[in-house]
Amino acid sequence: MAQKVVMPQMGESVVQGTVAKWLVKEGDRVKEDQPVVEVSTDKVDVEIPSPAEGVLSQILVREGQTVDVGTDLALIDAGQAAAASPSAKTPETAKGPAEEPSARPPEPVQESSELEERRRLSPLVRRLSKEHGVDPASLKGTGLGGRVTKDDILRSTARSAEEKPAEVPLNSESSKAQPPKTRSAPAGPPGVAEYTPPRSEVKEGDEVVPFTRMRKLIAAHMVSSKRTAAHVTAVAEVDVSEIVRLRREHGARLKEKEGIELTFLPFIIVGTVGALKEYRVLNATVLDDQIIIKKEINIGIAVDTQEGLIVPVLHQADELSILGIAKAIGELGEKARQRRLSPQEISAGTFTVTNPGRKGNLFGTPIIFQPQVGILRMGEVKKRPAVIEVNGEDALAIRSLMYLSLSYDHRVIDGVTANGFLHRTRELLEKGSFGL
């Protein structure tokens, strides 16, 4: 009677594991619970204990091979006496039920035949998925054997198949964003039937507003971004009282003399840029399974227009003074509202700052602009009582406070980094001089 050593599921999102090291040989006697093999997964390295006492009669997966969770790794012959067949090379004896295709050495990645069927893409589907920025592997196919068909692609996209973005109101890079080619998990956990949301009905009196081209693009981008990045949001409370003071001091003069509008945004940008210089991994993009840490710091500034959100880009913001930034913001904003932005002005952004304005509420969970990895959202400035230190003593004061929400891509940025960046930004904003 043969027992099996099986690749366990170490964590909900783990689907594969690699055999790191066999701790016993074929033919060895093993006791129940004795560790027989070390496996390593995305999350953790672990020893796997034998399920039974007996002889490890056959190793099915070699060291270094990666297999799906649930794959048989070895056979234990539980009924065998001490003298076991030490044939390590050719497993002629214990064939048994262990005729897994995973035993074949040359294929490190085991795929069930069903998975193979689903990956079979027709030329049309390949082209459409590229054009629409849809990863077919993330779809459930309705074709033969679960194949993804043209209809599956079209149903899953918000845009129509003929759409090709001519004038690009969005950051043009993000509109070209591809979902990364990671080894994505099968759609949905096993055993859960696919959910089809109810279709909206149009009743009399309803107002039907068809998607404009821009709306289609935004909709697609937002959904795609959510599907691509692992969004986490951290929030910091920033004491912007000093900035308020600087604004009061210099604002009127700058406006009159140089036509510069000194809003909060230039300050936030300066602080952000300063922190990005130290936490460079937030000034990066993802390409397949690589992080491209960008040399230039180009800050995208989300601007709200009548048709929707546009994100002009402030190129090489680290080389501008706060006045330079304020001026550039003013110009870009004006051009954005008049739809006069050039392609360069809406491309190559590496990090985005978004300011919802006076009615922006406290904080939010913004969506990252692909293919960037972070986005900072400003909240309303509110005067609140706060505890400050005066002469070493705690005291109560009225301070101007703003929440900064940072959404970051947890595929490439861990909490420690993100929090460090946010913390540094706050520091620079609260203590910086800004060169005014």
Partner 1 sequence: MPTTFVRAIRDALYEEMKRDENVLILGEDVGILGGAFKATEGLLEEFGGERVIDTPISEALIIGSAIGAAILGLRPVAEMQFGDFISCGFDQIVNMAATLRYRHGGKAQVPIVVRAPSGAGVHGGLFHSQNPETFFFSTPGLKIVEPATAYDVKGLLKASIRDNDPVIFLEHKFLYRRIQEDLPSEDYVVPLGKALVRRGGSNLTLITYGAMVHACLSAADQLADEGAEAEVIDLRTLKPYDREAILGSVKKTNRVLIVHEDRKTGGIGGEIAAMLAEEAFEHLDAPILRLGSQDTHYAFSPPLEEFILPNTEKIVSKARKLLEY
Residue number, 96 or 143, with CB nearest to partner 1: 143
Q: How far apart are CA 375 and CA 297, in angstroms?
A: 13
- How many residues are listed for the chain in this entry? 436
**Minimum distance from CB of 122 to partner 1 (Å)?**
5
Residue 150, burial from CB neighbour count under 10 angstroms (0-12, 13-18, 19+): middle
Residue of 8, 143, 251, 330 that binds partner 1 (CB under 8 A): 143
Q: Among the candidate windows 121-129, 268-276, 278-286, 290-298, which touches partner 1 by CB under 8 A?
A: 121-129
Element (H, E) at 232: strand 231-239
**Which of 150, 213, 280, 294 is close enough to bind partner 1 by CB under 8 A?**
150
User: Of 150 and 215, which CB lies nearer to partner 1 in the complex structure?
Assistant: 150
Catalytic residue among 33, 42, 289, 414: 414
Binding flag, residue 125, partner 1 (CB under 8 A)? yes
Place of tokens 């690589």: 290
Pick from 41, 57, 71, 149 the residue near partner 1 by CB under 8 A: 149
Q: Which of 28, 68, 318, 410 is catalytic?
A: 410
Selected range binding partner 1 among 118-126, 176-184, 206-214, 332-340, rule: CB under 8 A: 118-126
Strands 374-378, 351-354: pairing is parallel
Distance (Å) of CA 189 to CA 60, 227, 321, 392: 27, 16, 51, 56
DSSP string, 36-62: EEEEE-SS-EEEEE-SSSEEEEEE-S-
**Candidate segments 63-71, 140-148, 201-209, 360-368, binder of partner 1 by CB under 8 A:** 140-148
Under the binding rule (CB under 8 A), the answer on residue 139 touching partner 1 is: no
User: Is 132 a catalytic site residue?
Assistant: no
Q: Which residues, 6 or more positions from 231, have their beta carbon under 8 angstroms from its beta carbon?
A: 365, 367, 368, 407, 408, 409, 410
Tokens of 304: 């709200």
Task: Among 31, 126, 245, 339, indicate the residue that binds partner 1 (CB under 8 A).
Answer: 126
Which lies closer to partner 1 via its Cβ, residue 112 or residue 142?
142
Using CB under 8 A, which of 34, 122, 178, 233 touches partner 1? 122
Choice between 147 and 335, CB closer to partner 1: 147
Nearest to 228 by CA among 346, 352, 368: 368
Which of 83, 144, 202, 387 is in the footprint of partner 1 by CB under 8 A? Answer: 144
CB of 237 to partner 1, least distance (A): 53
* Residue among 161 and 252 whose Cβ is closer to partner 1: 161
User: Residue 195 Cβ, how far from partner 1 at the closest point, in Å?
Assistant: 24
Residues whose CB falls within 8 Å of the CB of residue 257, separated by 6 or more in sequence, listed in order = none
Least Å distance between CB 121 and partner 1? 10
Question: How many residues of this chain interact with partner 1, rule: CB under 8 A?
Answer: 11
CA distances from 200 to 197, 203, 207, 305 (A): 9, 9, 13, 28
User: Rounded to an integer, what distance in angstroms lies between the CA atom of residue 102 and that of residue 73?
Assistant: 9
Contacts of 18 (CB under 8 A, 6+ apart): 39, 40, 41, 64, 65, 66, 67
Report the nearest approach of partner 1 to the CB of residue 154 (Å).
11
Nearest alpha-carbon partner for 374 in 327, 432, 420 = 420
Of 25, 43, 127, 277, the one binding partner 1 by CB under 8 A:
127
Q: Nearest approach, Cβ of 152 to partner 1 (angstroms)?
A: 10
For 361: left if phi > 0, alpha if psi spans -120 to 50, otherwise beta; the answer is: left
Q: Tell me: does residue 250 bind partner 1 (CB under 8 A).
A: no
Q: How far is the CB of 145 from partner 1 (least distance, A)?
A: 9
Tell me how far apart the alpha carbons of residues 332 and 425 are, in angstroms, rounded to a whole number: 24
Q: Is 33 a catalytic residue?
A: no
Residue 243 touches partner 1, criterion: CB under 8 A: no
Three-class DSSP category at 257: helix
Site string for partner 1, 67-106 (x = CB under 8 A): ----------------------------------------
Maximum Cα–Cα distance across the chain: 97
Residue 228 Cβ, how far from partner 1 at the closest point, in Å? 25
Structure tokens at 82: 């001490």
- Segment lying near partner 1 (by CB under 8 A), choices 147-155, 233-241, 372-380, 424-432: 147-155
Tell me the one-letter amino acid at 13.
Answer: S
Binding residues (CB under 8 A) for partner 1: these are: 122-127, 143-144, 147, 149-150
Catalytic residues, by residue number, are 410, 414
